[in-house]
Amino acid sequence: MSPSDYPQAGRPQPLVLGSLLGRTLAWAPTQEILYRNERRISYSTFGRRLEQLGAVLQGLGVKPGDRVGILDHDSHRYLECFFAVPMIGAVLHTVNVRLTAEQMLYTVNHAGDKTLLVHTDFLPWIESVAGRLTTVETVIVIEENAPAPAVLSLPIAGEYESLLAQVTTPFDFPDLDENSVATLFYTTGTTGNPKGVFFTHRQLVLHTLGAGLSLAAHSNPVSFRADDVYMPLTPMFHVHAWGVPYLATMFGIKQVYPGRYEPELLLRLIAEQGVTFTHGVPTILQMLLKHPYSSQVDLSRLQMVIGGAALPQGLAQQAADRGIRLVAGYGMSETCPIVAISHLKPGMPTDNPAARLDVLSRTGFPIALVRAGIVDADGKNLPPGPENVGELVLQCPWLTPGYYREPERSAELWRGGNLHTGDLAYRDADGYIRITDRLKDVIKIGGEWISSLELENVLSQHPSVQEVAVVGVPDSKWGEHPLASVVLRDGIAHPVSSKELTGYLRSVIDQGLVHQRALLTEFHIVTTIPRTSVGKIDKKRIRAERKSG
Ligand code: AMP
């Protein structure tokens, strides 16, 4: 074969975020993107605003590779940054605004953000860490309800809307290498400082195509299609709201951005804007169901991907009772995030509610382009079966190449050439991955390993239980025993006692649903369960609170 047999006359099209937009702007120029009930822009305006934002940032001296941080509520502006910042070759740092002030400071300094876009709600944070932001040179202020102060401890470049309005000429985004880094954000682990994960244009485009195709191709029990109305309920700072805003924009569908999460407003937006597709952690679903206004809203058209934590069957049942269609999705910050979805396979039951619930409670089936393995402590592949629990390891085109400026932690993440999730799992007979626990959350009772998730799942099905969190706590005899923090349902006639809950556990143990040693569970009836910055059960804090008495 000679090179002339296959002439390279065409220029390969790089997989860059801008390439998701061309069709959309032509297909749906009048379709709308809403911010709460307050503002609506058409896709053609959106396209124009991207150019304006690109021009503003370049005008401020933002160069390819520079990090640009954003601190905003979920908004059309945030979506604009999702595209325009990477499209000028800069890296969008989606700052987790629910971390502590010190952790936020750490992330912005570690990322080396030069420019920050900051909603006035977060300006007090800037003042609280004044003088300690070591890299930020300029702030673009986002004004919504309150005007920005005239003076800040950092130079203000201007107000977002006024800066955009000053750009009146077209702006051409530069050509980019598809392997240039587009986004960066931080994930908090059990120990040490937050870690920065990052993704390239190519990875984000492939994730959009991979996850989008999986969600669009299947309809059971949930699908995401061109006639859906989308609203995120995973914060945009957390793994790009699971990447779904990129999908929704590629589809050119109506999108609703809810701003700061206010439960009644979220429910109103679902009802008034006809939202049909969303996603979030179980806590958010819990909140939608429990809020007093909820009963006035018809949720029967809503589809929701639940991820970030296991979906307890009790909660899945409560959602099913309201007609919400749920599907479980699995992923993590390091995985962009979607790698598995619990769609039903052909032939699986759709009419038997219990069987359907069972499939949904599986963590998920790997989506296209994802290779998942379960390995033992020596890295050896384990065969399917619940007796073969090991660590879930992954390969796919959209996994973070490492942790930003952390070569050692990166090598640890990617040891042996696979991405190590830190999750314990097995593959079931149908090929679904079933997460049994996080490696660090599994409870070791006298040499037996008990899954905290499994215990949470069975306890969640007790009629008096609203929410439950299980952690392992030190035990002089057994090494560890489970501690279950239980929130009871509102309005139950007879609050259950620990003794009754133990009795309930005995009955599920008799049915073989959970390990015998679950009987050692100690119960605490509590009013709330501590949550992390992204709404997951904060097991680290429960353990720490227990330790400090
Ligand atoms: P994060 O990086 O904060 O998004 O957390 C990722 C972790 O959430 C994973 O490593 C899992 O432990 C957990 N997780 C995500 N999705 C699921 C799921 N569907 N079922 C159980 N655990 C999940």
Q: Are 274 and 222 in contact (CB under 8 A)?
A: no
Least confident span in 220-229, 269-278, 405-414, 505-514 = 505-514
Give 3's pLDDT tier (boundaries 50, 70, 90): confident
Which of 94, 281, 330 best tests ligand 1's pocket when mutated (most atoms within 8 Å of CB)? 330
Distance CA(134)–CA(109), nearest Å, equals 6
Residue 43 near residue 30 (C-beta atoms within 8 A): yes
Closest by CA to 537, choosing from 308, 304, 334, is: 308
* Domain closes at, from 199, 217, 242: 199
Question: Is residue 332 within 6 Å of ligand 1 at its C-beta?
Answer: yes
pLDDT at 427: 97
Report whether pLDDT(449) > 90: no
CA distance from start to end of the chain: 74
Supply the pLDDT for residue 108: 98
Residue 291 lies in a domain: no
pLDDT of residue 190: 66
Tell me, what's the pLDDT at 549? 79
Exposed/middle/buried for residue 244 (C-beta within 10 Å: 0-12, 13-18, 19+): buried
Contact indicator for 86, 94 with CB cutoff of 8 Å: no
pLDDT tens digit sequence for 349-370: 877 888 888 888 789 999 999 9
Asked if 93 contacts 185 with a C-beta cutoff of 8 angstroms, the reply is yes
For residues 307-316, give the mean pLDDT.
90
Q: Rounded distance, CA 328 to CA 308, Å? A: 9
Rounded distance from Cα 309 to ligand 1 centre (Å): 5
Q: Which of 44-53, 94-103, 441-450, 536-545 has the lowest mean pLDDT?
A: 441-450
Considering the domain boundaries, does residue 232 fall inside one? Answer: no
Count of domains in the chain? 2
Q: Is residue 296 part of a domain?
A: no
Q: How far is the CA of 308 from the centre of ligand 1 (A)?
A: 4
Three-class secondary structure of residue 357 per DSSP: helix
Mention every residue, 6+ apart, whose C-beta is less than 8 A from residue 112.
Answer: 67, 135
Task: Supply the CATH number for residue 461's domain.
Answer: 3.30.300.30
Distance (Å, whole) CA 159 – CA 147? 9
Ligand 1 pocket residue status of 308, Cβ below 6 Å: yes
**19: confidence class by pLDDT, cuts 50, 70, 90:** very high
State mean pLDDT over 80-96. 98
Determine the atom of ligand 1 nearest the C-alpha atom of 306: 19
Candidate from 236, 399, 435 with most ligand 1 atoms within 8 A of CB, to mutate = 435
- Of 175, 199, 223, the residue that ends a domain is 199
At 197 the pLDDT is 98
Secondary structure of 4-73 as H, E, C letters: HHCCCCCCCCCCCHHHHCHHHHHHCCCCEEEECCCEEEEHHHHHHHHHHHHHHHHHCCCCCCCEEEEECC
For residue 57, the CA-to-ligand 1 centroid distance in Å is: 35
Q: What is the pLDDT of residues 451-503, one digit of tens each?
A: 999 899 999 999 999 999 999 999 998 899 999 999 998 877 677 888 999 99
Helix, strand or coil, per DSSP, at residue 373: strand
105 Cβ inside 6 Å of ligand 1? no
> 419: Cβ–Cβ under 8 A, 6 or more apart, which residues?
334, 335, 393, 394, 395, 399, 400, 413
- Answer positive or negative: Cα dihedral of 122, 123, 124, 128: positive
Q: Is 241 in the pocket of ligand 1 (CB under 6 A)?
A: no
Q: How far is the CA of 307 from the centre of ligand 1 (A)?
A: 7
User: Bigger pLDDT: 149 or 126?
Assistant: 126
Q: Is residue 421 part of a domain?
A: no
Contact 217, 76 (CB under 8 A): no
Beta-carbon contacts of 351 under 8 Å, excluding residues fewer than 6 positions away, are none
222 pLDDT above the threshold of 80: yes
Please tell me the distance from the alpha carbon of residue 420 to that of residue 411, in angstroms, as a whole number. Answer: 10
Q: Is 328 in the pocket of ligand 1 (CB under 6 A)?
A: yes
Confidence (pLDDT) at 409: 96
Q: Does 96 contact ligand 1 (Cβ within 6 A)?
A: no
Which has more confidence, 538 or 353?
538
Query: pTM, whole model, 2 decimals?
Result: 0.93
Residue nearest atom 21 in ligand 1 by C-alpha distance? 310
User: Contact 334/187 with Cβ under 8 angstroms?
Assistant: yes
Atom of ligand 1 nearest to the CA of 536: 3
Q: Are 96 and 48 in contact (CB under 8 A)?
A: no
| Pocket lining: 433 vs ligand 1, CB cutoff 6 Å | no
Q: State whether the beta carbon of 425 lies less than 6 angstroms from ligand 1.
A: no
Residue 225 lies in a domain: no
Per annotation, catalytic residue among 107, 187, 278, 363: 187
Share of the chain above pLDDT 70, in %: 99
User: For 284-313, what is the mean pLDDT?
Assistant: 95
Would 511 be classed as within a structural domain? yes
Residue 85 lies in a domain: yes
Instruction: Point out the catalytic residue in the list 440, 444, 536, 540.
Output: 444
CATH at residue 71: 3.40.50.12780
Quote the mean pLDDT of the chain: 94
Last residue of a domain, one of 145, 177, 199: 199
The whole-angstrom separation of Cα 18 and Cα 27 is 15
- 444 is a catalytic site residue: yes
pLDDT of residue 448: 83
Pocket test for ligand 1, best of 399, 400, 423 (most atoms within 8 A of CB): 423
pLDDT given at position 2: 82
pLDDT band (50, 70, 90) for residue 145 = confident
> Do the domain assignments include residue 398?
no
Is residue 452 in contact with ligand 1, taking CB distance under 6 Å? no
pLDDT in tens, 176-205: 999 999 999 999 876 789 999 999 999 999
Is the model's pLDDT at 512 over the cut of 90? no
Clarify whether 414 is annotated catalytic.
Answer: no
Give the Cα separation of 86 and 16 in Å (integer): 9
Q: Which domain holds residue 523?
A: 443-548
- Is 334 considered catalytic here? yes
